[in-house]
Chains A and B, each alone.
Chain A
């Protein structure tokens, strides 16, 4: 039940209450500690487990990914698009590997589902772009996290 506090006559006179309030803001003004982070110069510390921009792990330029489609299967935002193909040095590889980061919700389930440790979420959190283009395979393979 909502208990309404009834102001007394003195409080209803307001003037003293307002003065009290003014004292509080003035105290904050002089002694309050600012919590602002000066962004481009100062940066917030993120945990190693932070889930940021995706990248595809590769060894000597060959992607770990075998296009098993487990990440698009598990992806709740349906933002991963893979087309599989075959080439002489690899039985199955992703011809296309696209992530629509605008749809991505950074849940990290693709990383968990991946049997090959190919798709990873890095520590990169500055992902603003000037276009709506999706991340393609080349872009994702060139990304590296701070990890």
Chain B
């Protein structure tokens, strides 16, 4: 790796971190406005156009509040917990491809921070670190509600990580790779040609059951409704971040939204073709190139731009889906969550693996 490679990598890191940070206030706004409109309300609409700056105002408020640490907490872990929560959320995004590659001169430019050989495994290993932050917060808060919240959270995460991991096995079997770049690339192949309509080999078409399980498990992993038991307002006040205020609480909230983004990106990459163009976009690409009489290099850049756009659009849709589901589906009871995880999701994911294996053996897919 020469100097330019370093610069490019650092640039990509910085860009992703910057974009992820911007997602948080935007999502807060989307969440509040969206829920308000679904409930015949207006939501925050005072600050900036359509209340868009509400998130910034919240952040400013949190930053300027007195950073008070309660006397009964374990100070070191109390302070560490939000960070431990937030950092893995950022790290996961490193292996997610948000575009294919482009060759500039001799240099191959990858739109992915690091295309690790163990890509998917890396995602799971890092994502499960997040639970340490929650446990730490609950334990160091020295408060029974907080502890209950973190206990629930860890139980929930362990239960659903199982079905999460198993549901992805099917994808690995079909694409026979754990590199996310490979998985995304292979989804561009055509699965079926029904006259003029060609169905791509997207994960959702080859693994519909796996998608459902993965989706549900991601909801549980990110502690979002209908699985927000760690926070369970009506039972344990605010759960693991009960004792937190100011920006420390803000960090927990940021971690939640960044986790959401990562979840949405994972769903996109594994089941919705990742950066693969949306239907119709390839036609736009071709027409645009012809219309503007672009050079080959420029056409390549336009292709990459469209790829990034389609990736972003898919991620945005799933982010919205998170919000949408949250304000639609009521919360599960704790035993119901466990029931669903162990009695439904786990057997189903095993069945999914078996069926996929059989299908692959008979060369159906």
Contact = CB atoms under 8 A, between A and B. Distances in A.
B129 to A, nearest CB: 30
Nearest to B41: A36
B328 A24 contact: yes
Interface residues of B, number: 14
Contacts, number: 38
Nearest to B37: A29
Contact of B324 (A22, A35, A38): A22
A26 interface: yes
Nearest to A27: B38
B37 A32 contact: yes
Interface in B28-50: 34, 36-42
Interface residues of A, number: 15
A28 B37 contact: yes
A31 B39 CA distance: 11
Given A18-B329, A34-B42, A36-B41, A26 B324 contact: yes
A76 to B, nearest CB: 35
Contacts of A25: 38, 324, 327-328
A15 B328 CA distance: 13
Nearest to A18: B329
B69 interface: no
B329 A34 contact: no
Interface string A9-51: 0000001001001101110110011111010000000000000
Given A15-B212, A29-B34, A35 B41 contact: yes
Interface string B311-353: 0000000000000110111000000000000000000000000
Interface of B: 34, 36-42, 212, 324-325, 327-329
Interface of A: 15, 18, 21-22, 24-26, 28-29, 32-36, 38
